[in-house]
Structure 1
Amino acid sequence: MSHQQGQIRKESGTVHGNELRLDKDRSEQIIEALNTDLANSYVLYHQLKKHHWNVEGAEFRDMHVFLEEAYETVEEGADEIAERAQALGGVPVAGMGALTDRATVSFEDENVYDIRTSLENDLEIYGDIIESIRDHIELADNLGDYYTGEMLREILIGVEEDAHHIEHYLEDDSLVLENALN
């Protein structure tokens, strides 16, 4: 196992001053919220990636492409969240253990499920993340950090759009006949 050493520039969990003139108390609250959103994003990212790798069946191609686009959207949002936490003087949560500890959503597990079950599990995480981001938009706005609120609104648009697409995939109308092979 590798062991990294070197001079620590910013210790995880600490908040330093910023040039954005947002005081430390407000920054701490926002960074805490952003790190939760970041951790949740990576749980969803890895679950979507898992489903992208394992999808099978008649809708394989469409689902494979959609899931790739969805995890890329989540990753882009996570990057913005991490960079904003850093700009506010914080240290974005990054390690797998820290991400797992910080997340308020749970990865389904290592088993492979049918795509309908997988999407239902994804939709559950999306719903929790949507609620969390909405709360954090309100927090940022109430603390006078309108940039973070606006950034989270933009991320929320992509998250809600993908959740809505999953709702459509889960509808019972399909061109695929259930007993076509029997």
Structure 2
Amino acid sequence: MSTQKTVRQQADTVEENRLRIEREKAEQIVDALNSELSNSYVLYHQLKKHHWVVEGAEFRDLHIFFEEAYEHVEEGADIIAERAQALGGVPVSGPSNLEDRATVEFEGEDVYDIRTMMDNDLEMYGDIIESMRGSIELADNLGDYATAEILREILVTVEEDAHHFEHYLEDETLVLEEATH
């Protein structure tokens, strides 16, 4: 471990940026981005948990599905963190800070039946979708159209994944009919 103790930038601060977004505006946007980043990691860990514990007849398909979903969330989180840094901020990163900053709540350590877990995921997706829409509106209103566009692109993936959860939670559409002779 390095013995260097020089802090280059304190957490929860925003420095001037070369993107020419005024510091006061950048502070608001970085705060929103850090909330989105925190929400992303709460969802990521919940999906990862579900990937680990899923059981049953559809185990393989759901195991793969959860993996794809948490990979999408992680990709979006990385983009969000890099944007916060580009605006002069410090991306939130510590586990306790992520939990404190998140506006969504982890379902807990217990293992539930697959429908309950997926219902919990879909509920969190909905909360994140609403939050991202608010952050997009904030960025647009503050003239940071690039951040708004970045979040829009991430939102498309989030909404697509949420829609796939809806499909998994639908009632069965294939019905075996009793043959009449």
TM range (shorter): over 0.9
Q: How does 1:131-170 map to 2 (within 5 A)?
A: 131-170=130-169
Q: What amino acid is the match of 1:51?
A: H
Q: What is the TM-score normalised by the length of structure 1? A: 0.93
Q: What amino acid is the match of 1:152?
A: L
Q: How does 1:86-101 map to 2 (within 5 A)?
A: 86-101=85-100
Helix, strand or coil at the partner of 2:88: coil
Helix, strand or coil at the partner of 1:70: helix
The offset of 1:23, in angstroms, is 0.4
Is structure 2 residue 51 aligned with structure 1 residue 52?
A: yes
Which residue of structure 2 lines up, in the alignment, with residue 173 of structure 1? Answer: 172
Q: How does 1:1-182 map to 2 (within 5 A)?
A: 6-173=5-172
Take 2:24 and 2:46, find their aligned partners in 1: how far apart are those partners?
Answer: 34
Take 2:173 and 2:115, find their aligned partners in 1: how far apart are those partners?
Answer: 13
Aligned residues, how many? Answer: 176
The offset of 1:77, in angstroms, is 0.2
The offset of 1:175, in angstroms, is 5.3
The offset of 1:172, in angstroms, is 1.0
Q: What amino acid is the match of 2:62?
A: M
The offset of 1:22, in angstroms, is 0.4
Which residue of structure 1 lines up, in the alignment, with residue 179 of structure 2? Answer: none
Take 1:176 and 1:51, find their aligned partners in 2: how far apart are those partners?
Answer: 28
Contact 1:58 1:176 in 2 (8 A): no
Take 1:107 and 1:176, find their aligned partners in 2: how far apart are those partners?
Answer: 35
Helix, strand or coil at the partner of 2:110: coil
Q: What is the TM-score normalised by the length of structure 2? A: 0.94
Take 2:175 and 2:147, find their aligned partners in 1: how far apart are those partners?
Answer: 44
Structure with greater Cα Rg: 2
The unaligned stretches of length 5 or more in structure 2 are 177-181
